[in-house]
Amino acid sequence: MYDYCLKNGLGLLWKYPDLTYEYIHADIFEQFYNKTKDSRKKVVFDDKLQHYKRLPNGGCIGSNAKEANIFNAVFAKRCVAIKIDDQSSDLVLHGVSKLTGVKEVLAKHDISLDECVGFGDNNNDIEILSQVGISVAVSNGSEQLKEKVTMVTDDINDDGIYKALVKLHLI
């Protein structure tokens, strides 16, 4: 995948719970790195072997929609690029999504999706937020997502999730 992205001029980064590793830079990644106050502090720029040490929980390519579609054809049945915006796509393993993961956890605890509140900020959250009882987007999220949710809360950097939880009487 690294060679493919390098050859085709696509940015590539891998996400882990604690850090993000940028393998090939794309200008759009700067928006991600500046999304929250601490985002940039959690980016490693000089380790391109991290994926050999542990499996990432996600990734991202810097690409337009046409490039993402070609990527999906090349990596079919292995990895899927899910459009975030006009310049980037999240990478997930084929057949795996936030929704499949949440469904598995909820089934173990006998909780239905309609009993849940979900939060999101981008198009990759649409699938799961369309299934939960109450869906919330942060105001700095994508316009497409905000059109599909139950409520929009403040910007993530302005305690948006906390404010939504208060408004929903959950805390």
Q: Measured between alpha carbons, how far is 160 from 157 in angstroms, rounded to an integer?
A: 7
> How far, in whole angstroms, is CA 109 from its chain's centroid?
25
Q: DSSP letters along 109-123, please?
A: TT--GGG-EEEESSG
pLDDT at 141 (0 to 100): 87
Structure confidence by residue, pLDDT tens digits, 5-61: 999 999 999 988 889 999 999 988 888 787 767 778 889 998 888 888 888 888 999
Torsion angle (degrees, nearest 10) of CA 95, 97, 102, 104: 10
CB 67 within 8 A of CB 75: no
pLDDT at 151 (0 to 100): 97
CB 17 within 8 A of CB 34: no
Q: Which domains does the chain have, with CATH numbers?
A: 2-93 (3.30.1240.10), 98-167 (3.40.50.1000)
pLDDT at 31 (0 to 100): 81
**Residues contacting 86, CB < 8 A, separation 6+:** 64, 65
**For residues 74 and 83, which has the higher predicted lDDT (pLDDT)?**
74
Q: Quick check: 133 pLDDT over 90?
A: yes
pLDDT at 128 (0 to 100): 94
